[in-house]
Amino acid sequence: MTVANLTPAIQRFIELERKKTDIKRYFEELNEALEAVVAEAGVGTYFQDPSDGTVFKLLVPEGKFVHFERFGYHRTKRGDEKRGDLSMKEAQEAGFTLA
């Protein structure tokens, strides 16, 4: 498929995939912040967000839902990344021109 005929579904996927690194970083930072709060306040502690009234309780989850993705993808490196899952050679052999 060439750039000229990317479907709306492919365009949406590309847009969302570009955000993946930032989202992953966000969840890593959120987890670090949660661990700091637990270390500071302890499991079982409650606190409230004064801006909207949301109440939080710190706990140890009883289980963790495991999500298995039905589909996956590999991609070539982007920007200053050292490497991607998809080799540049394989992408070129598939007919793509790489910068």
Over residues 58-93, the pLDDT tens digits come to 988 877 777 787 778 888 888 888 888 888 889 989
Residues 47 and 8 occupy one common structural domain = yes
Q: How confident is the model at residue 5 (pLDDT cuts 50, 70, 90)?
A: confident
Contacts (Cβ under 8 Å, ≥6 apart) of 6: 14
Are residues 5 and 27 both part of a single domain?
Answer: yes
Residue-number span of the structural domain to which 73 is assigned = 68-99
Distance CA 27, CA 62 (A): 20
Tally of domains within the chain? 2
Largest CA distance in the chain: 57
Q: What is the pLDDT of residue 2?
A: 59
In a domain, 50, yes or no: yes
